[in-house]
Amino acid sequence: MLSTKLSIPIILALSLVSFLLLEGCSWGPMVKRDTENIAYVNGWPISYASFDSTAKAERIQSTGNAEKDAEKKREVLEILIGEALIEQETKRTESALEGDPEFSKELEEKLSTKALRLLYDDEVGARAEVTEEDIEIYYNENKELYKLRETIAASHILVRPQIDSMDAKDPRKLREAEQKAKKKALAILEELKEGADFVELAKGQSQDEASKNRGGNLGIFGRGRMVPEFEEVAFALPVGELSDPVKTEFGYHIITVTQHNPERYKPLDIEVKNQIRRQERTRREREVGQAYVDSVKDAAQYLFNEEVLASSDTTFSDSLWVLVVDGVDTSYYGKLRREMPKYMQVKSLEQLTSEDKKDLLKTLSLTRLLEKIAAERGYYQSPEVLKEAETIREEKAKSLVRENSTAQDYVPTEEEIEDYYNEHLDEYTVQRPLHVYHIIFTDSAFATVILDSIKDGADFVEMAKRYYPGEKEIREIAYDLDFISERELSREFFEAANELEVKEVGGPVKTEWGYHIIKLVERRMGRSLDQMRSAIRQILKGDKDEQVKKNYVARLRGAAEVEINDWLLKRYVLTGSARSVATGERR
């Protein structure tokens, strides 16, 4: 009896031990069950959450087969392992950059630019701010700059005297032609007063070829653009009214004004304010900046090599000193010699005096002076510069890793491009290129009669519905073959259709089924090698990059310590399952 009572707890205990042992076998080298991380790469964790989001982003779906699902999950995990290895290699590369002289120089130059930018913002930018009050003062003091001239929008109908160039020399004939033109203009004016549409009359009656198609519209214009006689009347004419015929050197004009804008000032709106703010800030920055630079130069102590600077000889050694600033910063002749031609060009000088050379040297030494000030004020240790240094190192390391993990020097050959095109010909050619209508006849003579009718203007579809053989329901649809290929119909039919231009009708074409009248409705064009060359080149480059990256990651993988949480990986359920990923509970 006692053994019976003990048997159940013992069995439960043994079952629990067996379960834990089995679970331990799938856990691999890990000691305790981890529900947070699905793998470790050289000690770096890959979280369950990142695995889950990657699987969903890659749209990995369950196949319903446990073995295939396990493969898919392993592929997702390998993506994350590869990313971790790349990130770790980037960090190692970033650390290695610390002792690289070339990078150190590059970093120093970029950080100097950042520090000087901060110095500029404080010493110049902050002192060049433009307030709302400044903008209003500028606007009021320079209001004439914002004056808008008087303009009108007008239309006209022009009637020109109709006279031969030879007859124009005869005053009598010229007078008669002008009288006829004026009479016609008055008649047009009467039509307009009776309600005729100005635009339509201008299109039909105006002899100004430049504006008649626009209904006589001359657009918006100011004074001085039109001839004086026209301008005087137009600018005095009330909006919407018609002028009497106005005589100019071109003939007689009937004018109407649709808009009159008097002389006025542009309002101080947001657009004008922004314009003033930009130009005033630029001016102030230039003035404040120049004043600050001058103050820095004036505060410095310069020791010039007077003998060298006074000489016209240009064969001095590049290592010969020419300037010492504040007793520490030395400039050498080589730098001066390289910069002199540019300075002469900017200053439009044929030769440089000793004072010109000193001015150039002061300018060249300015950057060092500003860097010294920036260092003294702590800009190089500011959060902005330190963050910039971190970003530059990260980007440089990423760039170097990217160079090693992509096919930098690979350029697809023409042979490779052509081979790829031929291997994927089905993607670039159209299987059914021709959309065709047809009508089939048993008699070629009757087919010719119908063909002639269609060519004379009869509608193809109507003729097809009338003469296509078979019941009405068949005739309603059978004429439209949709898009066809050479394999689907006889070679004679396809070739005849292929020779037609789109919308062209041809035939009769004899096949085993009878005589066809054919209409080519649409032609789909394939893509030639020349059209696809650039795209294929990018595809091949991408494939090569992918292969190089794969090999690169494989090398990193071979030297890495990777621990996989098989327990958690096994329990991850791909999309479509009804069980929870981590707990196994039903959702």
Strands, DSSP E only, in 512-575?
A: 514-523, 562-564
pLDDT tens string 255-312 = 999 999 999 999 999 999 999 999 999 999 999 999 999 999 999 999 999 999 999 8
- Which of 72, 78, 77 minimizes the C-alpha distance to 59? 72
pLDDT tens string 490-517 = 888 988 988 888 889 998 998 888 899 9
Range(s) for CATH 3.10.50.40 in the chain?
Answer: 150-262, 430-523
Tokens of 22: 């089995």
Q: What are the CA-CA distances from residue 358 to residues 305, 319, 354, 392, 529 (Å)?
A: 10, 17, 6, 36, 63
Does CATH number 3.10.50.40 belong to domain 430-523? yes
Q: What is the pLDDT of residue 505?
A: 92
Percentage of residues of the chain with pLDDT beyond 90 = 70
CATH class of the region 150-262: alpha beta
Those residues of the chain that have pLDDT short of 70 are 1-34, 576-587
List of residues 6+ apart from 427 with CB closer than 8 A: none
Torsion sign (Cα): 324, 329, 332, 336: negative
Q: What are the CA-CA distances from residue 506 to residues 162, 432, 468, 476, 503 (Å)?
A: 52, 20, 16, 21, 10
Beta bridge pairs of residue 324: 303, 330
Listing from the earlier edge strand, what are the strands of the sheet with 151-159? 217-222, 151-159, 251-261, 246-248
Q: What is the pLDDT of residue 583?
A: 37
Helices (H), 158-305: 171-193, 198-205, 228-236, 270-299
**DSSP-assigned letters across all residues of 365-423:** HHHHHHHHHHHHTTGGGSHHHHHHHHHHHHHHHHHHHHHHTTTTT----HHHHHHHHHH
Long-range contact list for 391-398, CB < 8 A, 24+ apart?
392/107, 392/110, 392/111, 393/94, 393/97, 393/107, 394/90, 394/94, 396/94, 396/97, 396/103, 396/106, 397/90, 397/91, 397/93, 397/94, 397/97, 398/90
- Which of 293, 304, 302 minimizes the C-alpha distance to 373? 293
What pTM was estimated for this model as a whole? 0.61
Spatial distance between the Cα atoms of 34 and 568, rounded to a whole number of angstroms? 7
Spatial distance between the Cα atoms of 368 and 75, rounded to a whole number of angstroms? 55
Tokens of 77: 């995990």
Spatial distance between the Cα atoms of 9 and 3, rounded to a whole number of angstroms? 11
∠ CA 64-66-71, rounded to 5°: 110
DSSP structural state of residue 1: -
Residue entry with tokens 């520490």: 328
**DSSP-assigned letters across all residues of 499-520:** TSPTT-EEEEEEETTEEEEEEE
Torsion sign (Cα): 270, 273, 279, 285: negative
Tokens of 194: 């009776």
Report CA Rg, the chain: 44
Spatial distance between the Cα atoms of 242 and 196, rounded to a whole number of angstroms? 12
**Phi, psi (rounded to 5 degrees) for 455:** -65, -25
Q: What is the pLDDT of residue 34?
A: 63
Torsion sign (Cα): 460, 466, 468, 474: positive
Tokens of 345: 């060009």
